[in-house]
Amino acid sequence: MKNKSGLTALITGASNGIGLELTRKLLSEDWHVIGLNRSKFPAEDEVIQQAMRDKRLREYQADLTDFEQLKQALNTIKAKEAKIDVLFNNAGGSLSEIRYSKQNREMHFELQTVAPYIIFMELKELLHNGSLRTVVNTSTNAFATLKAFDPETLERPSTFKKLFGPYAATKLALSLWTREMASLAELDGIIIRSADPGGNNTIRKGNSAGLPFYLKPFIKLFFPPPSKGAALLYDAALGQHRGLNGVFFMKGKVVELKFIDQGRRVLEKVDAIYKQDYKNLA
C-alpha cells in the first residue's frame, strides 16, 4: 500500500455515526475527505472543524433521496474536485414506517440501493483520476433473516417490518447490484465490493425509531461504538482482501450472498432509474 498522504476519499453520510468515525480515521492518516451529507459536520468537533479550515475536509450537502439536490451536489463535486481514490457509499438508515421519496419510491430503496448506484456512476471519472479506484458500499447482515426476495417489490413494498423488512431487503439489493456490477467496473479499472460494518451503537437522541423496541437496550449495553464499524469499512477498502472484486465482507471475511440469481434484475432496475429519472433531470 502506497503512502496514504495525498489520497482522497468521498464518504456519504460522513457527518455522524460510522461515517463520522471513518472521516476521523482517514483524516488522522493525512487523507483528504469529501463529505456528501444531509446534515452538517458537528460544529463542536475541533478536529473536524480544523480539517475543514485546512480544506482537507470538504463538505457538500444534499438529501440523497431528492434527485434534484443530489444532482446539484454531484455536479458541484465534479466541478470542484480533482480525484477520488476510495468512494464509501455509507449513507443509510432504518425508518419506523414506509415512506416515499420525492420520486415516489420507498425511502429505504431510494437511499440505500438507488442513490449509491447514481453516485458511483456519476463519479466514475473522478475515480479514474485516483490511484486506488475502489468503491465500498455499506451493507448489513440483517438480510440473512430474509426468507424471500423479490426485486419488483422494492419500490413499493406491501408489508413493513422494522430493520428486517425494507431496510434489510434494500441493503441486500445494494450488495446484489454491487456483485453484478463488478465485472463491468473492472473493465474500467475499478474495484467495487460491499461490506457489513457489524452491529454498532449509533443510536442518537430522538433518532432510534427505526429499531425494534426490544433491540434498543441491547444495542446500548452491548454494541461497540461506531469506530468499530468504521474500522471494518476501512479494512474492506484497504485491508488484506483489497484486491477482491464484487464480494461481500462480514467481520472481515468474504461471505456468499443470498438470492444471487436476482442480481441481474436488481442491476437492471437501478440502471433504468438512473437513466430515466436521474439523467433526464434538467
Q: What is the DSSP string of the chain?
A: ----TT-EEEEETTTSHHHHHHHHHHHHTT-EEEEEESSPPPTT-HHHHHHHHTTSEEEEE--TT-HHHHHHHHHHHHHH----SEEEE------SS--B-TTSSBHHHIIIIIHHHHHHHHTHHHHHHSSS-EEEEE--SGGGG-S---GGGSSS-S---TTTTHHHHHHHHHHHHHHHHHHHHHHTT-EEEEEE--------TT--TTS-TTTHHHHHHHSPPHHHHHHHHHHHHHSTTTT--S-EEETTEE-PPS-GGGHHHHHHHHHHHIIIIITT--
**Residue 2 within a domain:** no
Whether the predicted pLDDT of 76 surpasses 50: yes
Q: Which of 1-10, 152-161, 204-213 has the lowest mean pLDDT?
A: 204-213
**CATH number for the domain harbouring residue 30:** 3.40.50.720
**Residue 110 within a domain:** yes
**Residue 67 within a domain:** yes
What pLDDT does residue 216 have?
56
Whether the predicted pLDDT of 202 surpasses 50: yes
What pLDDT does residue 282 have?
77
**Residue 3 within a domain:** no
Whether the predicted pLDDT of 160 surpasses 80: yes
Whether the predicted pLDDT of 189 surpasses 60: yes
What pLDDT does residue 172 have?
98
Domain count, the chain: 1
Whether the predicted pLDDT of 58 surpasses 80: yes
What pLDDT does residue 201 have?
53
**Residue 242 within a domain:** yes
What pLDDT does residue 225 have?
75
Question: For the chain, what is the mean pLDDT?
Answer: 92
**Residue 1 within a domain:** no
What pLDDT does residue 234 have?
98
**Residue 145 within a domain:** yes
**Residue 210: domain span:** 8-278
Instruction: Note if the pTM is more than 0.85.
Output: yes
